[in-house]
């Protein structure tokens, strides 16, 4: 199976940094934050009213008024990002290949805004108050299903849920589907839209969110900084077009990078907290390296999970050292969550996208707001300013509640 190579031929993104790949990447390299104050939310504490917010996204203009009403925002973001990736790839869906192209688009919680709305409708108006579209809007597999219908993709179509590791698992499992010859191509990634009071209240009550007490909201997400106080929730979607290398070459596709390694483990430890010793996360990195048939010294960049929480940033630093040894001190690492916020289920997918673009352009996006490094986080986290650096192999880490540790390695494409 591992002899079959899987490459990336298309990219799509809807994010707090922009609604195109070009805008998102330009703003990331510029160290621009997409975090802002939420408006229209009055029933939660003021200290959590900041988020990585998708801006200027007009669902009615994209899908029409009737269709937009039928879609939860998680599906809207996923469909928009998938359309970008498919168009970018240049792959035409025809009667000849429609069963050879599938989609695997995950999300942490599906259409949770639609779930809350339906619950309120039921409580206020009873059974007849619940829309017949409520369940399709809520389902976790709705983004993937709607993408399949939108583009007549008749290959495998499903969703994966692994909390904040969902994006990496979706890409890794889709790549394995191609390696197993189940399909020739897959749209893979994740989408999330959870910026509603109930979700924010739940995160805040578990003491996970950063505390905002006023001032500039763009300064609140501070991965690896000694003054970090928690993560900032974000929203959006990122989708990759993955293809069997031979199939991509046959049709003359442009190739961004190769999915070369995939590893995942479980902490088997705590429902929300990571293992402080980092051993299971380190094992996921080691397994990704083994899958890619790479040595530790081959890794040129790590896009860290880097949530800006006290527990994650210390334990991830420990895990990177365990996995990479002395080499961990020699390479740039960054947390792009400092700019996007934590896009939850969509985080891994956009961070894989950033890793691919780092390979393409030889540029490392910064960790902004890293002004006072935590002594326990003593690696090179690319503080505040992007850096030119040749990248042949990049590692992208994603960890999730429930103990999920998922690692992708993306590599520069080289002809055999």
DSSP 373: B
The pLDDT assigned to 49 comes to 84
Q: Of these residues, 164, 264, 393, 404, which one is catalytic?
A: 164
Active site residue 103: no
pLDDT for residue 46: 61
270 is catalytic: no
Asked whether residue 255 is assigned to any structural domain, the reply reads no
- Under-50 pLDDT residues of the chain: 1
What range defines the domain where residue 210 resides? Answer: 8-250
Helix (H, G, I), strand (E, B) or coil at 58: coil
Separation of alpha carbons 39 and 296, rounded Å: 46
Same domain, 266 and 245: no
Same domain, yes or no: 246 and 267: no
What does each C-alpha distance from 390 to 296, 361, 412 come to in angstroms? 16, 8, 10
Residue 189 covered by a domain: yes
377 is annotated as an active-site residue: no
Based on the domain organization, do 393 and 305 belong to the same domain? yes
> Are residues 216 and 195 part of one domain?
yes
> Whole-structure pTM over 0.85, yes or no?
yes
Of the chain, the percentage scoring pLDDT greater than 70 comes to: 98
Catalytic hit among 151, 264, 305, 393 = 305
- Is 146 part of any domain? yes
Q: Flag whether 416 is in a domain.
A: no
Q: What is the CA radius of gyration of the chain?
A: 20
3-state secondary structure of 336: coil
pLDDT of residue 307: 97
Q: How crowded is residue 386: how many other Cβ atoms within 10 Å of its Cβ?
A: 19
> Where is the domain boundary, 250, 280, 315?
250
182 with 316, same domain: the answer is no
Number of domains forming the structure of the chain = 2
The CATH code of the domain that includes 204 is 3.40.47.10
Residues 334 and 306 grouped into a single domain:
yes
Same domain, 92 and 226: yes
Task: Give strand ranges (E) for 56-166.
Answer: 101-106, 157-158
Of 151, 264, 342, 393, catalytic: 342
For residue 45, the model assigns a pLDDT of 67
46: alpha, beta or left? (left if phi > 0; alpha if psi -120 to 50): alpha
Q: Are residues 106 and 216 in the same domain?
A: yes
Same domain, 349 and 391: yes
The dihedrals phi and psi of 98, each to the nearest 5 degrees, come to -65, -25
Count other C-beta atoms under 10 Å from residue 346's C-beta.
Answer: 37
* Region label for 224, one of left (φ > 0), alpha (ψ between -120 and 50) or beta (otherwise): left
Percent of the chain beyond pLDDT 90?
93
């Amino acid at each position: 199976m591992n002899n079959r190579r899987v490459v990336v031929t298309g990219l799509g993104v809807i994010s707090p940094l922009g609604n195109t790949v070009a805008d998102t990447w330009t703003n990331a390299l510029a160290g621009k934050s997409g975090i802002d104050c939420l408006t229209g939310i009055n029933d939660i504490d003021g200290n959590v009213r900041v988020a990585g917010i998708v801006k200027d996204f007009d669902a009615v203009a994209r899908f029409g008024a009737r269709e937009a009403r039928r879609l939860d925002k998680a599906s809207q973001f996923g469909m928009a990002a998938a359309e970008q990736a498919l168009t970018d790839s240049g792959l035409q869906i025809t009667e000849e290949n429609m069963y050879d192209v599938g989609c695997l688009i995950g999300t942490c919680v599906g259409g949770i805004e639609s779930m809350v709305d339906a619950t309120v409708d039921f409580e206020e108006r009873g059974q007849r108050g619940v829309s017949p579209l409520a369940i399709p809007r809520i389902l976790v597999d709705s983004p993937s299903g709607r993408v399949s219908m939108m583009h007549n993709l008749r290959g495998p179509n499903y969703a994966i849920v692994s909390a904040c590791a969902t994006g990496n698992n979706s890409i890794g499992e889709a790549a394995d589907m191609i390696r197993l010859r189940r399909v020739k191509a897959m749209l893979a990634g994740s989408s999330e839209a959870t910026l509603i009071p109930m979700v924010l209240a739940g995160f805040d009550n578990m003491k996970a969110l950063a505390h905002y007490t006023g001032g500039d909201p763009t300064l609140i997400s501070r991965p690896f900084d000694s003054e970090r106080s928690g993560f900032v929730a974000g929203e959006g979607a990122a989708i990759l077009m993955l293809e069997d290398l031979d199939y991509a070459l046959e049709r003359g596709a442009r190739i961004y990078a190769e999915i070369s390694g995939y590893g995942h483990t479980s902490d088997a430890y705590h429902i929300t907290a990571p293992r402080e010793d980092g051993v299971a996360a380190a094992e996921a990195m080691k397994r990704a390296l083994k899958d890619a048939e790479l040595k530790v010294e081959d890794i040129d960049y790590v896009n860290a999970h880097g949530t800006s929480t006290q527990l994650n940033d210390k334990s991830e630093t420990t895990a990177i050292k365990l996995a990479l040894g002395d080499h961990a001190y020699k390479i740039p690492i960054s947390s792009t969550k400092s700019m996007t916020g934590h896009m939850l289920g969509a985080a891994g997918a956009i961070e894989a996208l950033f890793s691919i673009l780092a390979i393409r352009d030889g540029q490392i996006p910064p960790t902004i707001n890293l002004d006072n490094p935590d002594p326990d986080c003593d690696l090179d986290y690319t503080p505040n300013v992007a850096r030119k650096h040749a990248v042949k192999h990049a590692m992208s880490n994603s960890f999730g509640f429930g103990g999920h540790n998922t690692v992708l390695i993306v590599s520069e494409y080289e002809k055999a």
